[in-house]
Structure 1
Amino acid sequence: MTTARPRPHHRDGYRAFHRIPTRWADNDMYGHVNNVVYYSWFDTAVNALLIERGALDIHQGQTIGFVVETQCNYFAPLAFPQTVEAGIRVAQVGSSSVRYEIALFAEGAETAAAQGHFVHVYVDRQTQRPVALPEALLQVVADLRA
């Protein structure tokens, strides 16, 4: 079975953006950002957006998100000292989970250098059992729907 290689998404397909400056330490011995850093950018972009919009309180909130699935496709290298613009949208919402899709763009670029997704399952901080999505999160998610 042959699967078509994903193609880079265009910037206008994303609902919100978060800027991330690269760091010297992000580059690997090949002179570009190491692949594992992209996953941390996915996590940083989504959580920063949720915090900024009041949907996530990482210190006192009763509901927290656990990443249960993640995936990334790479199209073009990124390297220090670039600034990355992470495009964010929501593809799927369950009763206790959200699938976020993230594309990483070199500053000002129209097509993604990398794109992928991760799934958060929202759980009670104490019991670590899945819970219904809180209203504040549902409002943010509605704004991010693709």
Structure 2
Amino acid sequence: MDRPDRSAFALFRPADTRWMDNDAYGHLNNVVYYGLFDTSVNAHLIEAGVLDQMGSEVFGVVAETGCRYFGSVGFPDRLEVGLAVERLGRSSATYRLGVFRQGDDLVAAAGRFVHVYVDRQTRRPAEVPAAVRALLEPLVRA
């Protein structure tokens, strides 16, 4: 995998590091990146009004995540998380995510995050809701 730059992403969300995010080696602990991915995707959905975490009849559950590290970041860095959609299927969305130090052109970490949409009651796969699909389609990048 090549190191992605900003052109691989459709939008960017600010993210601040916290004192407790650093590990004993002085950089962001690897689990923090997954929190940044989860928060960025779901905040985008919530702010757009297509996800009500307590009331949506259909919502995405994480089926797969992954991350590749290219550089180090840590507190007190200001970050930006790039989002794009690699694939928008019938019942799933695969996100491409990138953690950038604010102003950098190349990612410090590149991630993959798959939401499988399920019915709240049955927990069985369901179609991506039309409003979610409409929000995500402009983010699709090959």
Q: Does the pair score TM above 0.5?
A: yes
Q: Any idea what the Cα deviations from partners look like across 1:108-141, whole Å, max 9, x if unmatched?
A: 1100000010100010111111111111101111
User: Unpaired segments of 5 or more residues in structure 1?
Assistant: 1-5
Alignment match, 1:69: 64
Alpha-carbon distance in 2 for matches of 1:69, 1:52: 23
What is the letter of the counterpart of residue 129 of structure 1?
R
DSSP 3-state at the match of 1:81: coil
Hey, which bits of structure 1, 4+ residues long, moved more than 4 A? none
User: Unpaired segments of 5 or more residues in structure 2?
Assistant: none
**Aligned CA-pair RMSD:** 0.8
- Calculate percent identity across the aligned residue pairs: 46
Alignment of 1:10 with 2:5, yes or no, is yes
Q: 2:38 aligns with which of 43, 65, 82?
A: 43
Alpha-carbon distance in 1 for matches of 2:11, 2:52: 19
Alignment match, 1:144: 139
TM-score (norm 1): 0.94
| Equivalent residues, number | 141
Alignment match, 1:104: 99
TM-score (norm 2): 0.96
2:27–2:73 Cα contact (<8 Å) kept: yes
What is the letter of the counterpart of residue 79 of structure 2?
V
Which residues of 2 match residues 17-32 of structure 1 at below 5 A? 17-32=12-27
